[in-house]
């Protein structure tokens, strides 16, 4: 049964296919006959001719557009090829320029290296020459220092070194041997190679010598309650006694002047003048590189001519309007006015009156062992040695104890002076009261006597009137 139904279905499908084919053939035949009939008509022939002409025109137009597009592409290609050639030539030119610059830079680099090599060689020669001159100078200095028979120093040791020989002299450095610009100054600074005067820069340090730039928050602070002029005076006296004791080991000191200006390039400088160049040289060689109070010393020779041009004249009467911020020297007053003589001209060396004295002076060193021990401030290194630490602690305790005793004595003195003032004031009040009472009584007596005399005069004149 199912096979029969499928066969019937297939037969019907074939029948439909045959019918469609037959209808298509008939339709094609009818269309062909209609086309043949239309071809026989002149209007259709004309329309066909027009269609063919139109198609030919469109074909020619498309061919012409294609040809124009191809020509435009060829033109663009030619322009692109020409631009490519131009860019390639430009690139090659730039590459050649870069290679040329590289060759020039390499050549300049070689020239600079050659110049540097020559400069290095010249500097080495100069340094070797300077080292040889320095060694010769040190030998001559040692010979002059250790040979007491040589009275005057050699002439080559009395040279003057100049920073800028072609420039004019720096006025402040010539007057004070100090310049606020230091080595950066464009004017000429003349420094002696050997002299009788030593300049130890920033030797004396104190908090009151610092430039005070208070913050606006602390403008109302009273700094004088912490440090006063008496504290500065006491500390300077201690510094003076300590340093002079050490500096006198090298020779006889003529002048010892300490600067109390607060400017950075003047603060705490110390000028030390010896009687001769040998003592100054001995002090220079021994102090150079040493430490005082854990600060390294900066020692140099000074060619200061006179104090008149260096010291501020108004500072002697304390009338300088700039105070310790002045550009000229303000000096401390030494205890008992010691080592405070007039400075003479130091251009020509003086002959030593007794050369045997300088020969007998023992060249000191910080390795010397005294009976009381070495001062803790003078040391070869900035660290305080452990062996002197106990002595330092004891000295600090003793100084603190002395300070406490001074404070207690000062308080007692103030209390006594206050009681004396009170007693004097009370006595003065009593005496003033007595004077007032006596003056009042005398005034009353005078008034009564004057009234009495006037009354007597009136009585005496009445009879005459009558």
Domain boundaries along the sequence of the chain: 20-118, 147-211+228-364
Is 90 exceeded by the pLDDT of residue 79? yes
Q: Quick one: average pLDDT of 22-47? A: 88
SS3 299: strand
* Distance (Å, whole) CA 64 – CA 220: 102
Is 90 exceeded by the pLDDT of residue 87? yes
Q: Quick one: average pLDDT of 22-29? A: 92
* Percent of the chain predicted with pLDDT > 70: 70
Phi, psi of 271 (to 5 degrees): -100, 125
* Distance (Å, whole) CA 160 – CA 145: 20
Structure tokens at 7: 């066969």
pLDDT value, residue 424: 58
Q: Quick one: average pLDDT of 130-134? A: 83
341 close to 254: Cβ distance less than 8 angstroms: yes
pLDDT value, residue 417: 60
* Distance (Å, whole) CA 309 – CA 175: 6
195 close to 304: Cβ distance less than 8 angstroms: no
Instruction: Output b/e per residue, 124-137; b: 16+ Cβ within 10 A.
Output: eeeeeeeeeeeeeb
Report which secondary-structure segment, H or E, holds 303: none
Question: Following DSSP, what letter does each residue of 187-221 receive, concatenated?
Answer: SB-EEESS-SEEEEET-S--GGGS-----GGGTT-
Task: Quickly state the pLDDT bin for 377 (edges 50, 70, 90).
Answer: low
Report which secondary-structure segment, H or E, holds 322: none
Q: Which CATH superfamily is domain 147-211+228-364 in?
A: RRM (RNA recognition motif) domain (3.30.70.330)
pLDDT value, residue 455: 42
Neighbours of 299 (CB within 10 A): 21
pLDDT value, residue 172: 86
Compare 289 and 119 and report the one with higher pLDDT. Answer: 119
280 close to 350: Cβ distance less than 8 angstroms: no
Residue 46 CA, chain-centre distance (Å), reads 109
Is 50 exceeded by the pLDDT of residue 350? no
pLDDT value, residue 259: 92
Q: Quick one: average pLDDT of 262-283? A: 90
Average per-residue pLDDT in the chain? 77
Least confident of 204-218, 236-250, 313-327, 403-417: 403-417
The listed range with the strongest mean pLDDT (62-76, 223-237, 416-430) is 62-76
Is 50 exceeded by the pLDDT of residue 194? yes
pLDDT value, residue 456: 41
CA separation, residue 147 to residues 144, 195, 315 (Å) = 5, 18, 43
Q: Quick one: average pLDDT of 299-321? A: 84
pLDDT value, residue 130: 83
* Percent of the chain predicted with pLDDT > 90: 32
Residue carrying structure tokens 């008509």: 41
223 close to 329: Cβ distance less than 8 angstroms: no
**Sign, CA torsion 95/97/99/102:** negative
Compare 412 and 246 and report the one with higher pLDDT. Answer: 246
67: left (phi over 0), alpha (psi -120 to 50) or beta: alpha
pLDDT value, residue 159: 84
Q: Which residues pair with 271 in a beta bridge?
A: 199, 257
Q: Residues 138-184: pLDDT tens digits?
A: 788 888 888 878 878 888 788 888 888 899 999 888 888 888 888 88
pLDDT value, residue 358: 39
Structure tokens at 371: 């009976």
pLDDT value, residue 160: 87
* Distance (Å, whole) CA 463 – CA 466: 5
* Distance (Å, whole) CA 221 – CA 59: 108
Residue carrying structure tokens 């061919």: 63
Is 70 exceeded by the pLDDT of residue 213? no
pLDDT value, residue 466: 27
252: left (phi over 0), alpha (psi -120 to 50) or beta: beta
Q: Quick one: average pLDDT of 355-367? A: 40
Q: ∠ at Cα 200 (234, 176), nearest 5°?
A: 100
* Distance (Å, whole) CA 368 – CA 390: 19
pLDDT value, residue 410: 57
263 close to 330: Cβ distance less than 8 angstroms: no
290 close to 206: Cβ distance less than 8 angstroms: no
Half-sphere exposure of 403 (CA within 13 A, CB side): 9
């Amino acid at each position: 049964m199912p096979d029969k139904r499928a066969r019937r279905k297939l037969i019907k499908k074939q029948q439909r296919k045959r019918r469609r084919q037959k209808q298509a053939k008939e339709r094609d035949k009818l269309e062909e006959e209609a086309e043949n009939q239309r071809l026989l008509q002149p209007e259709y022939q004309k329309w066909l001719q027009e269609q063919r002409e139109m198609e030919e025109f469109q074909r020619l137009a498309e061919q012409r557009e294609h040809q124009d597009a191809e020509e435009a592409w060829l033109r663009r290609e030619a322009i692109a090829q020409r631009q490519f050639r131009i860019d390639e030539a430009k690139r090659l030119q730039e590459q050649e320029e870069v290679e040329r610059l590289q060759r020039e830079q390499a050549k300049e680099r070689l020239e600079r290296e050659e110049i540097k090599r020559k400069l290095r060689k010249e500097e080495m020669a100069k340094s070797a020459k300077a080292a040889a001159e320095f060694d010769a100078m040190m030998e001559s200095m040692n010979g002059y220092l250790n040979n007491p028979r040589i009275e005057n120093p050699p002439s080559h040791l009395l040279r003057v070194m100049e920073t800028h020989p072609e420039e004019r002299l720096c006025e402040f450095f010539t007057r004070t041997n100090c310049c606020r610009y230091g080595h950066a100054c464009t004017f000429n600074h003349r420094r002696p190679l050997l002299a009788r005067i030593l300049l130890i820069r920033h030797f004396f340090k104190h908090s009151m010598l610092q430039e005070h730039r208070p913050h606006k928050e602390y403008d109302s602070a009273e700094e004088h309650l912490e440090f006063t002029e008496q504290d500065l005076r006491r500390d300077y006296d201690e510094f003076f006694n300590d340093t002079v004791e050490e500096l006198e080991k090298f020779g006889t000191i003529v002048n010892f002047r300490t600067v109390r200006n607060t400017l950075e390039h003047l603060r705490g400088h110390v000028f030390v003048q010896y009687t001769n160049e040998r003592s100054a040289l001995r002090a220079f060689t021994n102090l150079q590189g040493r430490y005082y109070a854990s600060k390294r010393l900066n020692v140099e020779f000074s060619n200061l001519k006179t104090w008149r041009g260096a010291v501020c004249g108004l500072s002697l009467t304390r009338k300088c309007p700039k105070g310790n911020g002045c550009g000229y020297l303000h000096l401390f007053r030494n205890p008992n006015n010691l080592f405070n003589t007039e400075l003479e001209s130091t251009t020509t060396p003086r002959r030593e009156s007794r050369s045997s004295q300088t020969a007998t002076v023992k060249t000191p060193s910080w390795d010397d062992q005294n009976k009381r021990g070495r001062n803790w401030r003078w040391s070869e290194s900035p660290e305080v040695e452990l062996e002197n630490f106990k002595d330092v602690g004891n000295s600090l305790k003793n100084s603190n104890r002395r300070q406490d005793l001074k404070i207690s004595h000062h308080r007692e003195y103030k209390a006594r002076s206050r009681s004396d003032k009170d007693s004097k004031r009370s006595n003065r009040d009593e005496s003033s009261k007595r004077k007032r009472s006596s003056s009042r009584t005398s005034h009353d007596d005078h008034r009564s006597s004057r009234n009495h005399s006037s009354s007597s005069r009136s009585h005496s004149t009445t009879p005459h009137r009558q």
